[in-house]
Amino acid sequence: MNETLDIFSSARDLIEYKSENALLDYYPYFFQDNAVHYFSFLKDNVPWQQDKIKMYGKEINLPRKTAWYGEQGRKYSYSGIEMQPLPFFGLLKDIKKEIEECSEVSFNSVLMNYYKDGQDYVSWHSDDEKELGPSEDIFIASVSLGADRDFQLKNAFNKDIEKINISLRNGSLLLMKPPTQKFWLHQIPKRKKLDLPRINLTFRKII
């Protein structure tokens, strides 16, 4: 049996995606007025780092560059990488405040990814690391700047449930509400013909 996906839209430019244990609010134009400025500033001023991961006994470059910002002591670990937080600066504080007012959720950290082009990607995963608390309670707010990229989700336990595909546009905000991280995986797939960069900010709450 193939489950259906419910999609709702409203006059507030909010698109709601609802499926079995998946709740997502998508605002395509949330930061539209400032998106170009935000992208340019973050690209030039964030100390992007090239992390390495181990695969099949070899160290390889992560297929994107990263940065981790947050409150003091809010370190983050994933894929064998441990990141110590840099302190929030003015622009990040402004972005975080707007997201918190919209979502009514407080965040204390943000993982930033820089994709140089469509060859950079992130494979299937859930944002369910232990630092984020119980997976059924995790709330993620994702900001996209720069090139539009496909964002795909699939149910981790039932392949018959319809996948969710969202084109994350420049200046958009995606809220992944509980319990999405417990039951769904997501990815940014490769797009070989894309030669434009993208920056993604995923705000989180480290427990």
Provide the residue-wise pLDDT of the chain in tens; the chain has 207 residues.
445 566 655 545 899 999 999 999 999 999 999 999 999 999 999 999 998 777 666 777 888 999 999 998 888 877 677 788 999 999 999 999 999 999 999 999 999 999 999 999 999 999 999 899 999 999 999 999 999 999 999 999 999 999 999 999 999 999 999 999 999 999 999 999 999 999 999 999 998
pLDDT of residue 28: 96
Strands of 71-148 (E only): list them: 76-78, 81-83, 109-115, 122-125, 140-146
pLDDT of residue 7: 63
pLDDT of residue 2: 45
Q: Which residues, in sequence order, are bridge partners of residue 155?
A: 184
For tokens 């489950």, name the residue. 3
Domain residue ranges in the chain? 6-204
Contact 164, 124 (CB under 8 A): no
pLDDT of residue 11: 42
Picking from 29, 37, 33, the residue whose alpha carbon sits closest to that of residue 172 is 29
Token pair listed for 142? 């994702």
Element holding 77 (H helix, E strand) = strand 76-78
Picking from 78, 61, 165, 169, the residue whose alpha carbon sits closest to that of residue 120 is 61
Alpha-carbon distance of 126 to 78, in angstroms, equals 11
The architecture (CATH level 2) of 6-204 comes to: Sandwich (2.60)
Alpha-carbon distance of 93 to 193, in angstroms, equals 34
Whole-model pTM: value is 0.91
32: amino acid identity, one letter: Q
Residue 125 exposed, middle or buried by CB count within 10 Å (0-12, 13-18, 19+): middle
Alpha-carbon distance of 18 to 8, in angstroms, equals 8
Alpha-carbon distance of 83 to 73, in angstroms, equals 10
